[in-house]
A = this chain, B = another copy of it.
Amino acid sequence: MPRKTINREDVLKKMGAHVLEHGLNTASLRPLAKAAETSDRMLIYHFGSKEALIAELLQFLARNMALELDKALPPEPAPDLNACLRDIVALLRSPAFAPFMRVWLDIVSSAAQGSISHSVIGGAMIEGFFQWLQGRLPDDTPDPETTVRAMMALIEGVVVLDAVGQSDAADRAIAHLFPI
């Protein structure tokens, strides 16, 4: 094995940062390579194809986002359901997570267009979020599996409404479905 093999993790990290800043669906090899301080030639060499690269990059971003979520909100039961939901919505709306939400909507739209890989990783991210969320529900929450799915649906709705400038409507929806 001559020459040093590339630091895959480092390349993924730099490409991930580029995608978080500039978007997923508009990302192309040459800008990605520049961000990772390499060449499109090498990206194809190491990942096989753009499709495989994007799939691996999405896995990487999903792992990273999960880590960030754990860091921002440690797995402790919330005092009550409404506080739980509000904290999470505030977190996802924060500048630290807004880029993830943009990439998330890119994944969703690609999945809706029929991309299997985007649908698979998107579904896995949702299921991971279910678990993450369940660990933060108040201890006495009845039917936690269903509760996290209800909260998740509302959260996704909020993300969509935020994206088209309807944050006020999203706030009213939260207040109505999860009154303080």
- By a beta-carbon cutoff of 8 Å, the part of chain A in contact with chain B is 23, 25-26, 101-102, 105-109, 111-113, 118-120, 122-123, 125-127, 130, 143, 145-147, 149-150, 152-161, 163-166, 169-170, 172-177
A contact patch SS = helix
Oligomer copy total: 2
Instruction: Contact check, A169 vs B153: say whether CB atoms are below 8 A apart.
Output: yes
**With a CB–CB cut-off of 8 A, which chain B residues contact A152?**
157, 161, 169, 173
Query: Taking A26-B113, A101-B112, A105-B109 as contacts, is the C-beta distance between A173 and B150 under 8 angstroms?
Result: yes
Residues of B within 8 A of A150 (CB): 172-173, 176-177
B contact residues around A107 at 8 Å (CB)? 164
Bound together, the chains give a CA A52 to CA B72 distance in angstroms of 42
Tell whether, in the assembled complex, residue B176 and residue A122 are in contact, meaning their CB atoms are under 8 Å apart.
no
Interface centre among A105, A113, A147, A164 (most CB of B within 10 A): A164
Closest to A122 in B: B164
Selected contact of A23 from candidates B113, B120, B125, B158, CB within 8 Å: B113
